[in-house]
A and B are shown apart, each in its own frame.
Chain A
Amino acid sequence: MNLLPFYLIVSAFMFFTGVIGVMTRRNAIIVFMSIELMLNSANLTFVAFSSFLGNVSGQVFVFFVMAVAAAEAAVGLAIIISIYRNKMTANIDEINILKW
């Protein structure tokens, strides 16, 4: 039995779960987690293709994506900390943060 389409469908579901999370949730950290779901599903698609096509470069790409995701998480945490610092000193109620 060829399982490749099944792997791809699982990762597609995961991807769209992430997209829905980004669009509907209002908490910055949950939005970021949903983005990680999207990245993971793309990685899964890459590895599935890589292994079924017998082409290792897909796995190398996943390796790069993971390193970049770690770098992004570091920058994201720094941004959240800087907001936290300013909000400790500023009045939270008066800040109308991020309309979109």
Chain B
Amino acid sequence: MTYYTFAFYAFAAIILLSAYAVVTSKNVIYSAFSLMLTFFGVAGFYALLGADFIAIVQLIVYVGGILTLMLFGVMLTNKITETEIKTGVFQVLPASIIIGMFSGVLIASISNNRWTVAEKLNNPQNSLVGIGSILMNEYILIFELLGVLLLIALIGAASIARK
């Protein structure tokens, strides 16, 4: 077993266990911190996949931004989120059967697919140059629109949350 596969299995275990904890934990704070572990595990996967830039962005945006916002929400609204927001009309059994079947089909087709793999994977390059050039050429319009989207999200958030 090489170091690479060892790291892969370690990160996979972190991701799956902490994702399970997010969903099943009774305490919201525990869920939030398990989610942080999941984000770290995913960042580790990105690093293993040679996506160094995305790994760093994952840490900055998800752990530094989104998770902090969530914790803020948890602590601010602890009283109201304890109240149930869904009544028990949801059919858990048929839903879980459908999800089980669907995941089975998905995983079976993933493992049976014949994958063609690019050669350069064996020697991962710094991905930043490629991302930068594609972002400023093909995806320039979307990059600009993303700015509009963030502006709108700010205006929308301010519009809802102000007194």
For the complex, give the distance between the alpha carbons of A46 and B76 in Å.
34
Q: Which residues of B contact A54 (CB under 8 A)?
A: 118-121
Q: Which of under 10, 10 to 19, 20 to 34, or 35 or more describes the interface residues of B?
A: 35 or more
Most buried by B among A1, A17, A97: A17
* Chain A interface main SS type: helix
List residues of chain B with CB within 8 A of the CB of A34: 22-23
Give the A-B contact count at a CB cut-off of 8 A: 234
Query: Is A18 in contact with B19, judged by CB distance below 8 angstroms?
Result: yes
B residues 11-56 with Cβ under 8 Å of A? 12, 15-16, 19-20, 22-23, 28, 31-32, 35, 38-39, 42, 45-46, 49-51, 53-54
Contact B70 A33 (CB under 8 A): yes
Residues of B in contact with A (beta carbons under 8 Å apart): 5, 8, 12, 15-16, 19-20, 22-23, 28, 31-32, 35, 38-39, 42, 45-46, 49-51, 53-54, 57-58, 61-62, 65-66, 69-70, 72-74, 76-77, 79-87, 89-90, 92, 95-96, 99, 102-103, 106-107, 110-111, 113, 115, 117-121, 124, 127, 130-131, 134-135, 138-139, 142, 146, 149-150, 152-154, 156-158, 160-161
Kindly list the 8 A-B residue pairs having the minimum CB-CB distance in the complex, ordered from nearest: A54-B118, A71-B153, A21-B23, A78-B157, A78-B161, A56-B130, A51-B49, A78-B160
